[in-house]
Structure 1
Amino acid sequence: MSAIESASAQASRQWLSFQIGAQLYAVPLIAVNEVIRDGDVTPVPGAPDDVLGVRHLRGRIVPVLDGCRRMGVPQPTKDLTRVRIVMLVHGGHLVGVRVDAIGELLSTDGITIEPPPPGRASRSDDPVTGVMSWQGGFVAMLDVSRLCRLRGDAGHVA
């Protein structure tokens, strides 16, 4: 295995965790473009309820989703000093997700990722692909394309 392949394999086992409501979630680190402070978002008329709007980021117009609404969790009283927008990249598309706080960098080396628990609300667009035990609780592992509702090569945020 080359050094590039080895680095890519290691990166695919690294996950960025963040809090949405009271739950801890994680996305593959390789899908994280950057983490930025919350800021001005321009609402988009007619957008789905979980789309906060769009934000200008270094010459790009980026849609920003509300993590609580997207995951269907209650909106807690937020500590605005901890709120961030995680910029995710998938298939050349950049989508921001507002989260309540950034967590730790997790490694899945030697850890089993279990399927989501039975009895979860059945949604065709559910981005939770598995769960990982972590510090007496669990972390819900997310699929970025489903989280951001990116479909196929066209990749539209719906």
Structure 2
Amino acid sequence: MHGTAPPGRWCRTLGDEDVRQLVALLGELHAAHDDPIRFNHGLRYLIAQAWTAFERAPATPTRHPAIAAADRALSADPGLALGELARLGGTSQRRLSALLRAATGSGLAALRNRHRVERALVLARQGMALADAARAAGFCSYRQFHRSCRQVTGVSPRAARMPG
């Protein structure tokens, strides 16, 4: 059965506490490398703990790391260029675009607009005028913001600004 994976999803994102525990166990295991008996028992325990953490983690589809990196970067700065986003994700521009299309059905512009809309709405909820919030979030015009807000939220900016 070389080269084929067993059926099922074998990639999950572990919780922060599980990751901390596994990293600590790896440190202890590394410290025991001179003692073969302790090392081998520790390795068995580490594998059992890793499996337990895997089973505990939700079996939801995970995003490609390049998409996750682009999403985080755009959250901080919606104006980042595709080249910079690709570099942060450790991939090429072409590959990042293809990954986005495959995962979301749309490209970088839609992801960027979502982040800009979210940022503008946060600013508007903090008391900034909608037009000023739109410009501060990177929109060239209120009209562009209005159109993007409707696409992202399904409602007008005024309605989306309302809490709840």
TM range (shorter): under 0.3
Structure with a larger share of its residues in helix: 2
Scaled by the length of structure 2, the TM-score of the pair is: 0.21
Q: Which has the larger strand fraction?
A: 1
* TM-score (norm. length: structure 1): 0.21
Higher RCO (CA < 8 A, seq sep 6+)? 1
Task: Give 1 or 2 for the bigger CA radius of gyration.
Answer: 2
